[in-house]
Chains A and B, each alone.
Chain A
């Protein structure tokens, strides 16, 4: 295998991990509440900055900083649900209003991040600098950590939804809110929990993102939009579909960046998206089964 191809594969793995973490959180919110969370990129941004602060300013080891950021981000996620989703969800046109409100929040977070952390580039330290050789090419261990994180968390989420009582409650609310309430499930609690879980996934995405690239206050939207493309690409997404979609889009992006140049890769990804939408408009995220 040529070096070029292998380096494309390596960056595809990193991108795929990032997108699967982002997209599975988005997908969870989307299928349970029926809304699109534009502030998901803002959650990623906050997660990355929190991890950075804990490791650089507080001096914790990176993994510990990541662990410390998780509960904080879960709380922020629930707060987001409380202020930007709860007031609108039962209004007519609620989905549109939630989109506008989360967009507004995302903008506000961008401003806040600029205020707190400044516009300079920040990067989270890698967990370890060790590499290992695969043939002639060296692969950083951070790539493997990203991959492991994505696989463990997404498969963990699938298991959580399939096997646990909480997962059943989520699926019950998703399928029939009123019946779920009749058997004693409180949708409001489920929604808060869904946001907490999605935020934890966003925090993991932030960890992958922050260790592989520099973060600035404006960088939350890019992975959000690609994660949306992943959702579409994953088709009638079971979360497995999301995983496949994430790594396919990662490969597409890495490949187009290599062959066409950095500026063309988002164009290529979005054109693929539009084409898919034309062929399969009905099958975006059809709920989990």
Chain B
């Protein structure tokens, strides 16, 4: 039997919606599990990714930890894929790019409605926020992009089956969406 291909996934500044959409593969996940296994992913709870064939990245880059995770994925994955609007253009998290970081923090932790025990978190364990949210192609080289908010399960399936069969992935018109 051929060795299974290794897939790692992560969510940076995203909402896990792309992961949920991936799970919409439903019974096709069984077929996928026969040829692929997960390395680091929310499904396996592995902390660092090892050498992988495919890395699926959801979400943009909003803090220092996102940068580290993204670089680790780039180092370890032969093929790195930007999954969804946030990874591709920053998505909704990037809508904060027009507000100063200070104002964002004050609104969230001090001045916002319903805030109790107001204080700006400053534990050294916490990753530092970046001034702006960035799409991942601005940090590392990306090999493929799956647009959508989220991309549908059919997008994942079309993409992965093409790669597994050694074909160049391409998407019919109906599968390309930005919303």
Q: Do A and B bind each other?
A: no
Instruction: Give me the interface of B with A, judged by CB distance under 8 Å.
Output: none
Instruction: Give me the interface of A with B, judged by CB distance under 8 Å.
Output: none
